[in-house]
Chains A and B, each alone.
Chain A
Amino acid sequence: MKIIVLIKQVPETTDVRIDPETNTLIREGVDSIINPFDMYAIEEALRVKERLEGAKVVVISMGPPQAVDALKEALSMGCDEAVLLSDRKFAGSDTWATSYTLAQAIKKIGDYRLIFCGKQASDGDTAQVGPGVSTHLDIPQVTYVKHIEQIDTHAAKVERMTEEGYDIIETPLPAVLTVVKEINEPRLPSLKGKMRAKKAEIPVWGAGDISCDEDKIGLDGSPTRVVKIFTPPPREGGRILTGEPDEVAKELAGLIKDIVTG
C-alpha cells in the first residue's frame, strides 16, 4: 500500500520575480527549497504511515533535474521512495497538464491509498494541482485538511479548515488530501536518513515512462494562456456594485477585463 506525496521545488523567497518577456518565474540566483506547505504533506504522510501497517511513502516531484534535491530532503526525513518526473516534453505545463502528468505517474506506481499535496505552492499559488490530480484519477479530494481524525485503509475522517471554523468530512480511500500548516509540525531530517538519501539513486521518469498522451502534456497540453502577471495593488476600501444582477455582472466583467488588459 502506497501513500503518495507530491512536492514542488520552489524558490526560497516570498518575493517571486517574473520575467516580463516570457511571463515565467525567474529562478536564477535563488536557492530552492521544498514548497513549505509540502513539508506538512510529507510529515502527515509519515505520520499516517505509522498508523497504517505496511504502508510505504513515495514522494514525487515534477520539475527540472535539480528537483532531485527536494526529493533527497524528503528521503532524509524518512520517505521510503522518490521519483522525479523530468523531461523537456513536460516544459511549459500549466496546472492542468502538471496534474495530468502527476496522475499518470501515480497510476504507474499503483496501489495508492492516499495522495498528499500542500495547500498551494508558494510561487505558483494556484492551489489547483491537488484537485487536478484527483480529477484525473477520478477519486475524491479534500482540500485544506487540518487534522486527520480517523484513518484506516478504506476511509478517512478529516477536518477541513474553513474561514469560520472547520468541516468534518468522511471520504472513502483512495483520495487526495491537500494540507494546511495547522495540521502538524514537520520533523527535521535524521542523520541516518541524510546518509541514506545521499546514496539513494532516484529514478527519473520521462514522458515515455508513464504512458501519457503526448498532446496532454507540456505546452501543447496546457490550455491556460497567461496574458499578464502583476502584483495587485494593496487592497483599498473596495467598491460595491449595486443594481440588477445582470448589469452588475456585466459591469464587473468589464472591470476585470480592464485590469487584465489595461
Chain B
Amino acid sequence: MDYLLTEEQQMIKDLCHRIAEEKIKPVAAEYDESGEFPWPIMKIFAESDICGIYIPEKYGGMGGGILELAIATEELCWGCGGISLAFAATGLGTFPILLYGNEEQKAKYLPEVASGRKLAAFALTEAEAGSDAGSIKTTAKKDGDSYILNGTKQWITNGGEAEIYTVVAMTNKAKGARGASAFIVDKDTPGLSFGKKENKMGIRGSATREVIFTDCRVPKENLLGKEGLGFIVAMKTFDSSRPGVAAQALGIAQRALDESVKYAHERRQFGTSISSFQAIQFMLADMAIQVEASRALIYSAARMIDSGAKNIAKVSAMSKTFASDTAMKVTTDAVQIFGGYGYMKEYPVEKLMRDAKITQIYEGTNQIQRGVIASALIKEALAK
C-alpha cells in the first residue's frame, strides 16, 4: 500500500528498517534472555539522529510529528519491540515537556533528548493506581521555591536508565483530580531512587522499575504548566503517545506476518509446502488484512494529530486498541503457523507473542480505551 510518504518520511522508514535489520534483530533474542538494558543500541539510535525525529529543529530535532515517530517506532519494533521501547518510552516521557513545557524547560531538556544524550520516562502508575490514575498517592508539597515529592511509582519504563522523569503527583488532595500536578525530575536529584527491576513476560529488553521519591526536592521551575494540570498533562500526553504504542504493536505484527509467510513457504508436510494448504493461506491473508488496516488507521490518526486537530482522543485510542488487538491475534496465529516450532525459543514467533501482549495493557488498557472511545461517541452525539 502506498501511503504517499514524503521523501523525508521514506528516508526515516528506510533507515530505521536498516537499523532494525542489521543492528537490532541479531541481538534481540540475547536481550530477551538476559533482560539487560540495550545501551549499545541506544548509542546507534543517537548516532543515527533517530532520537530527535519528533522534536522541533529549534531544539536540535528533525522537526517531525506523530507520523514520523510512528513510522520510526514501527520499523524499530519490527526488529525488537522490547529493545526499541526505550525509544518510544522516551517519547512518552518527553511529550509533557513538548506539550506543556515553557521555553526554559524546552531549551534545557529537549536538545538532550533530541541528541540521544538522555533518555526520558513518564511516571504516573502506582501500586494502587493503574487504570484509576486519579487515586495516585504520591504527593508534592510546596516548600518555598521548591516542591517536596514523596511516594512510589511502579512499573516505570526506562526507570533507572533515563535521566529525565516527568512525574504526576498530588499537590492538593482536597481538589481530587484537579489537585494533581506534573513535574520534571532529574535523575541525580537527591531523594530520587529506584526499586526493583521487574522480571517480565515480554519486552524483556526494556527496563521496568519502581521510581521512589523520598523527600525529593524539586525546584519550582520544574513544574509543568500550572498546579492542578497534572491529569490534563497526562491525558494529552497519552493522546499523542498512543499512536506510538499502536506503532509498536504494528511493528511486532508485521514481523510476525513476515516470519509466517517465509516459514509457511519453507516448511514441508505431506510432501508439499504448508503454504499450499488453504487453511494456512487464509490465516496469512487475514493477518495481512489486519496488519494493513492497523497501519492505515495509525497513519490516519497520526496525520490528524499532526494537522493540529483538537478532538484526537478518540482516533488516538482507536489506533492503539485496534493495532494492539491485531498484534495479539496475528502473533498468536504466527505461533500456530509455526506449529510446535513456534512454541520453541529458537524460533522468533513465541517472543513476538509475548512482546505483543503488553500493547493491550499499558498507556491505558484496551478496556479503558474503549471507554474513551465510547464517551467521545456519546459526547459527539449529544453535541448534535
Residues of A at the B interface (CB closer than 8 Å) are 187-195, 198
Residue of A whose beta carbon sits closest to that of B7: A198
Quick check: A192 and B49 within 8 Å, CB to CB? yes
- CA–CA, A194 and B44, complex, Å: 15
Interface string of B42-67 (1 = CB under 8 A from A): 00100111100100000000100000
Quick check: A191 and B47 within 8 Å, CB to CB? no
> Which A residues lie within 8 Å of B8 (CB)?
195
29 contacts between A and B (CB under 8 A): A187-B47, A188-B15, A188-B18, A188-B19, A188-B22, A188-B23, A188-B44, A188-B47, A188-B48, A189-B15, A189-B48, A190-B47, A190-B48, A190-B49, A191-B11, A191-B12, A191-B15, A191-B48, A191-B49, A191-B50, A191-B53, A192-B49, A192-B62, A193-B49, A194-B11, A194-B15, A195-B8, A198-B7, A198-B11
> Which A residues lie within 8 Å of B19 (CB)?
188
What's the dominant secondary structure at chain B's contact region?
helix
- CA–CA, A188 and B50, complex, Å: 12
Place the interface of chain B in its size category: 10 to 19
> Which B residues lie within 8 Å of A191 (CB)?
11-12, 15, 48-50, 53, 62
> Which B residues lie within 8 Å of A194 (CB)?
11, 15
> Which B residues lie within 8 Å of A198 (CB)?
7, 11
- CA–CA, A191 and B16, complex, Å: 10
**Closest beta carbon of chain A to B254's beta carbon, Å:** 21
What's the dominant secondary structure at chain A's contact region?
helix
**Closest beta carbon of chain B to A77's beta carbon, Å:** 10
> Which B residues lie within 8 Å of A192 (CB)?
49, 62
> Which B residues lie within 8 Å of A195 (CB)?
8, 11
**Closest beta carbon of chain A to B61's beta carbon, Å:** 10
> Which B residues lie within 8 Å of A190 (CB)?
47-49
Of B7, B18, B47, B62, most buried by chain A (CB within 10 Å of CB) is B47
> Which B residues lie within 8 Å of A187 (CB)?
47
> Which A residues lie within 8 Å of B44 (CB)?
188
**Closest beta carbon of chain A to B53's beta carbon, Å:** 7
- CA–CA, A116 and B15, complex, Å: 26
Q: Lowest 9 CB-CB distances: which A-B pairs, in order?
A: A191-B49, A190-B49, A192-B49, A190-B48, A194-B11, A188-B48, A191-B15, A191-B62, A187-B47
- CA–CA, A192 and B63, complex, Å: 12
> Which A residues lie within 8 Å of B53 (CB)?
191
Given contacts A188-B19, A191-B49, A195-B8, 20 further A-B contacts (CB under 8 A): A187-B47, A188-B18, A188-B22, A188-B23, A188-B44, A188-B47, A190-B47, A190-B48, A190-B49, A191-B11, A191-B12, A191-B15, A191-B50, A191-B62, A192-B49, A192-B62, A194-B11, A194-B15, A195-B11, A198-B11
- CA–CA, A188 and B76, complex, Å: 14
**Closest beta carbon of chain A to B84's beta carbon, Å:** 15
